[in-house]
A and B are shown apart, each in its own frame.
Chain A
Amino acid sequence: MDGKNLSLFKDKPIKVLLAKPGIDGHDRGVLVLAKAFRDAGMEVLYAGLLPTPEEVVDTAINEDVDVIALSLLNGAHLTVFRKISELLKKRGIDDIAVVGGGTIPDGDKPKLEKLGITGNYGPGTPLSTIVDHITARASEARSRKMQ
């Protein structure tokens, strides 16, 4: 990860939606990520503060993103992340990957993984680790879109 998209404008950039669903206004982390993803050559959407899970899923579909990246620091991740993964399933969408992050206790991580929500990184994670993870999940989602 050298922070550069070497094949500038030749390859289709990864499109990622950053969202903080649920009542959580701590957006410093998500804004740092938005910049890091942009600098890694991704096309980044930010859903703004306090979107509902429905809004997040609608936006992801309309924008046809590869990855939804969720962040919560209020402890509601099990409720809200699950809601999003359920909404996606209900609408028959299997070609958008979901990753998570925030203050997520280790014990909750396997539960989220079970829902297909991976990553779940906490504070202090190097940005490159997160970018690499998103890149990997995006290429998975892409390969399903092409089917």
Chain B
Amino acid sequence: MKIQDIINGILNGDRRSIARAISIVEDDEMVIEASEIIKGIYNQTGRAHVIGITGPPGIGKSTMIGRLARVLSDGNKKVSVIAVDASSPFSGGSLLGNRIRMQESLTENGIFMRSLANRGMNGGLSRSTWDAVKILDAAGNDYIIIETVGAGQADLDIVDLADTVIVVLGPGLGDEIQAIKAGIMEIGDIFIVNKMDRDGSFLAMKDIQDSLAMTPQKEWKVPVIGLDSLKGKGYDELVSEITKHGVFNTSRPNIRLDRFKKEVEMALQAEIRRQYLLEARELISKKDAIARLSEEKIDPYSAAMKILKSGKTGL
């Protein structure tokens, strides 16, 4: 597939083009093609409502997304889902299992869903998630739902990417809510207690409300919603809060500016890394030079600085 065909395909909502484009932005070796695609579609982006879903592993995020995607799609909106899963730091491989929990609604409502492995990136997302969102945005989606890697305190990248961050918790976390509150309790625009059919779910809601009550009040009042994702209870309230938050966001022009800033920073990092890696690999591959530095017992930091300063001219 040619890049221009892919771009046209994305703008026409063609799934194969969208899928291929996401593969290209995932591929570190195809930075140039990826930037061409993003350039080609950029003026068609910025219309989708990006919903980020995060929370600890096993709390029911995927099942909940299956439900939410279906409810939004039943309301005549175009919805796509991106689910990020962890790559093994040992083999580089990954089992992308989120799809299984939402397959039924994906099939019945014809919802596009893509699994991404985080490929070693910390923060709950993959490097490619930003571009994947742009591609789905340009393809005319009203809502893009992103599921992060089951997150702990430090996996907060979703804040930079999503218009609305939904934190999913559940009964039985008990004191763990205390443990995670430092990170995750500060990023939610909406809080969910999933598995409301289980014991202790009302206590969990109360815990979260108490915890939120202790954080400084902001303009947006953070709701805590109970969901029973097996029966589909509570989703009307969730959709209404998501819509409300979308309207609230229009009064915050900075959110787009902040995201743009983050994206430029990431693009800059990627480009510097790419250019630098090309040169650095070449320099480091000069065996005699490395051997000399090693013989002279120069420490790695000084050796790195030497390589940096010497540039292409060699050591």
Give me the interface of A with B, judged by CB distance under 8 Å: 3-5, 8-13, 34-35, 37-48, 51, 55, 58-59, 61-64, 91, 93, 145
Contacts and interface: CB of A to CB of B under 8 A. Distances in A.
Given A12-B27, A13-B117, 13 more contacts: A8-B91, A10-B28, A13-B87, A34-B95, A42-B93, A42-B94, A45-B115, A46-B100, A47-B99, A51-B103, A61-B15, A63-B19, A63-B114
Contacts of B1: 145
Nearest to A13: B92
Contact of A44 (B20, B95, B103): B95
Interface in B55-81: none
Interface string B288-303: 0000000000000000
Interface of A is mostly: loop
B295 to A, nearest CB: 28
Nearest to B98: A45
B97 A145 contact: no
Contacts of B28: 10, 12
Given A9-B87, A38-B88, A44 B27 contact: no
Contacts, number: 92
Contacts of B92: 5, 8-9, 13, 41
Contacts of B99: 45-48, 59
Nearest to A38: B93
B91 A9 contact: no
Contacts of A10: 28
Contacts of A13: 87, 92-94, 117, 119
A9 to B, nearest CB: 4
Nearest to A147: B1
A38 B22 CA distance: 21
Contact of A40 (B15, B19, B93): B93
Nearest to B20: A64
A12 B93 contact: no
Contacts of B19: 61-64
Interface in B97-132: 97, 99-100, 103, 107, 112-115, 117, 119-120
Contacts of A61: 15-16, 19
